[in-house]
């Protein structure tokens, strides 16, 4: 069945470095993708989204890249800060009522 998964379960970086978190999806019909950040004991927080008619979208310090050819999604965080430490999930929407399929998550740890 369809699935959304992550290549790297953990990522450790130094403060100030750029971080890249990757995600693979298997449903080529998916047309909307979201990145969430989840801090310990809290619900996922929306970071950035991208639709399938785009291949890049930028936010504040974050960029999402979509490669539909290889069904790959990535989140780039510039100048990573200790407050960026969290679990990051990619999610895929493929139905009219907006049912999300989540990946397993990547733990990002930023060392000062």
Partner 1 sequence: SQTIHQWPATLVQPVGSPLSLECTVEGTSNPNLYWYRQAAGRGLQLLFYSVGIGQISSEVPQNLSASRPQDRQFILSSKKLLLSDSGFYLCAWSEQGIRGQPQHFGDGTRLSIL
Cα 46 to Cα 109: distance, rounded to the nearest angstrom: 19
Residue 75: which of 29, 22, 30 has the closest Cα?
22
Least distance to partner 1, CB of residue 32, Å: 4
Report yes or no: 3 and 101 within 8 Å, Cβ to Cβ: yes
End-to-end CA distance of the chain: 41
Least distance to partner 1, CB of residue 53, Å: 11
Tell me the three state secondary structure of residue 57.
strand
Pick between residue 105 and residue 110 the one whose CB is nearest to partner 1: 105
Cα 99 to Cα 97: distance, rounded to the nearest angstrom: 6
Cα 94 to Cα 71: distance, rounded to the nearest angstrom: 14
Least distance to partner 1, CB of residue 95, Å: 8
Pick between residue 10 and residue 18 the one whose CB is nearest to partner 1: 10
Pick between residue 34 and residue 86 the one whose CB is nearest to partner 1: 34
Q: Which parts of this chain interact with partner 1 (CB under 8 A)?
A: 31-32, 34, 36, 41-46, 49, 51, 89, 93, 96-100, 102-105
Pick between residue 96 and residue 112 the one whose CB is nearest to partner 1: 96
Least distance to partner 1, CB of residue 58, Å: 17
């Amino acid at each position: 069945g369809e699935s959304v998964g992550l290549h790297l379960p953990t990522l450790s970086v130094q403060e100030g470095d750029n971080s890249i978190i990757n995600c693979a999806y298997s449903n080529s019909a998916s047309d909307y993708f979201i990145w969430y950040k989840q801090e310990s004991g809290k619900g996922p927080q929306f970071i950035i989204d991208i639709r399938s008619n785009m291949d890049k979208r930028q936010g504040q310090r974050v960029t999402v890249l979509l490669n539909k050819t290889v069904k790959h999604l990535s989140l780039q965080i510039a100048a990573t800060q200790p407050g960026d430490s969290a679990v990051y999930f990619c999610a895929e929407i493929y139905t009219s009522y907006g049912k999300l399929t989540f990946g397993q998550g990547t733990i990002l740890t930023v060392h000062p």
